[in-house]
Amino acid sequence: MAYLYRTKGSEHPAQRLRKIIKERDIIMAPGVFDPISALLAESVGFEAIYLSGAALTGSLAMPDLGVITFLEVLDATRRIMEVVDLPLIVDTDTGFGEPLNVYRTVKELEEAGAAAVQIEDQVMPKKCGHLSGKHVVSPDDMIKKIVSATEARRHDMVIIARTDAREVEGLEAAIERANMYVEAGADVIFPEALLSLDEFKEFAKRVKAPLLANMTEFGKTPYITAQEFKEAGYKIVIFPVTTFRAALKAIKDTLVELKEKGTQKHILDRLMSRQEFYQLIGYYDYEKRDSEVAAKAERIVRSIAQQREVRS
């Protein structure tokens, strides 16, 4: 669907996400970082997408250390939701502050069209969940944020509580925190950086809530397929930075080719064609709209001229 013809239905994306959580055995949500990557994900048939804090921050050439601002995330959410109809899960790191900040974060992102927000229990400045040296807040502090998030929503936005406690306090503590977060009102639990499929299975046995798994690359979690996550009892699996890393590698390889050979003619098969790109963004719908507006304006001008002739 073209950007100019994007229409918003009466149903909020949060309701759509809740429906597919109930209806699907597993939901694969690739990470996106801008409108065009989101549109690509929609075009190949994904049912949900994930606005990765790491990928969005990386696209601004900054590290994933909580340095991105709420307004930058809000702006990215708005721009993405202008071009896709998919439920968007938004990574909000630690919620951009204390419970009052979380309230605003949830309220404004929901109004921007986000289907879900993910809030983690790290201490600021946070780190990538798959790096060592993390610290977590007390369960009480995280519960306050979850309560604030649930009270801020107006369209039943999905609240995803992520716990980074496995690395810091061990698996038992992570499971205990997760159950507390469910009792506080979290809709989905996200156990970060588990070390094996067996740990994911154990977590699923003991936490009775929809679960989200992070299948990032180059991290502490081994490579586990979406089918394996489904069989282990998980509802959502995200691939947060995969598309961003792929884009960086492709851009670098292209730049090296240009630098070394002075031409792109040898790599045309690795480029999206003009026609493919135009189809993706709805280029011809823009042209059609422009022609329709011009024709309508011409009819109005002609009618005005005729009325003036009659009056004279």
Q: Which pLDDT score, from 0 to 100, does residue 1 have?
A: 45
Closest alpha carbon to 128 in 89, 186, 167 = 167
pTM of the full structure: 0.93
Largest CA distance in the chain: 89
Q: Tens-digit pLDDT profile for the chain (312 aa)?
A: 445 545 556 789 999 999 999 999 999 999 999 999 999 999 999 999 999 999 999 999 999 998 999 999 999 999 999 999 999 999 999 999 999 999 999 999 999 999 999 999 999 888 888 878 899 999 999 999 999 999 999 999 999 999 999 999 999 999 999 999 999 999 999 999 999 999 999 999 999 999 999 999 999 999 999 999 999 999 999 999 999 999 999 999 999 999 999 999 999 999 999 999 999 999 999 999 999 999 999 999 999 998 888 887
Contact assessment for residue 235 and residue 211, using Cβ atoms and an 8 Å cutoff? yes
Q: What is the C-alpha separation between 31 and 192, in angstroms, rounded?
A: 16
CATH fourth-level superfamily of 8-240 = Phosphoenolpyruvate-binding domains (3.20.20.60)
Q: Which pLDDT score, from 0 to 100, does residue 205 have?
A: 98
Domain boundaries, the chain: 8-240, 262-311
